[in-house]
Amino acid sequence: MKNLKQRLKHGETLHGCWLNLGSPLTAEIVGLSGFDWVLIDLEHGAGTEKDVLAQLQALEHTSTSALVRVESSESQRIHRVLDMGAEGIMCPKINNPDEARKVISGLHYPPHGNRGVAKMVRASQFGVNFDAYYQAAPDTILGIVQIETAEALNHLDEIAAIDGVDVLFIGPADLTMELGVFGQFDHPMFREAVQNIVQAAQKAGKATGILFFNPTDYKRYHADGIRFLACGADATFVADGARAIAGRLKAFRDEGSQG
């Protein structure tokens, strides 16, 4: 474990990005690039649970913490990727406290939750360190719930107060869609929602997170009090780099044809 949860508790600002290609190679490249954390995306990403293991192995020797976004709050989805060695879980579209408690229960062994016990798994070095892993899990496994629905905005204080919810993570696309202002991240309704989410998190001593794709948005969200910041994804890094080089080559070709 790389103490991501403890770093957040100490008030650090942490930088991350998405991994949505399902590739251990891009996971390793991104892991070596200097991010504090990456999120393997099972909700919208190209990979499946089968691909998570190789990505976690690729990230193991880097300094970057590996989180996984599961596609639902079903306990079996959460247990499986934690057993593979994920350091934290993000769950999308949490609407109310009951749904948030269900997610957190899936993160932890009894008596703190309902996570199933299996010693011969990668997370505990296949049984070698299960006792140490069991003891450390409540203080090391990061619980992230996504606030991206109108209903969730009515339960912010209750969700943030739940023990084990470490980050309220704003889903900008879904939240603006719900608010009827899709993609309008400067709209007063979205800006008010962001402020309310941050306020609820701070009141409970928790962190707020958000994903954005333009690095120039960093200062605004950081000024809002958001400290768990994600910018971009492995797919966008590849696409942006490919387009940039192809564009430069085309420009050189055009210059040559004109000469």
CA dist 16 and 137 (Å) reads 22
Annotated catalytic residue 44:
yes
| Token digits of residue 140 | 């090391």
Terminal-to-terminal C-alpha distance of the chain: 58
| Token digits of residue 45 | 């990403």
Of the listed 10, 44, 61, 108, which one is catalytic? 44
Q: How far is CA 165 from CA 100, 111, 209, in A?
A: 8, 17, 12
CA dist 77 and 7 (Å) reads 26
CA dist 114 and 108 (Å) reads 6
Q: Which residues contact 191 (CB under 8 A, 6 or more apart)?
A: none
Q: Which residues contact 249 (CB under 8 A, 6 or more apart)?
A: none
* Residue from 103, 93, 78, 88 nearest 169 by CA: 93
Cβ neighbourhood burial of 34 (10 Å; 0-12, 13-18, 19+)? exposed
Q: Which residues contact 87 (CB under 8 A, 6 or more apart)?
A: 1, 2, 4, 65, 66, 67, 140, 141, 142
Which residues does the annotation mark as catalytic?
44
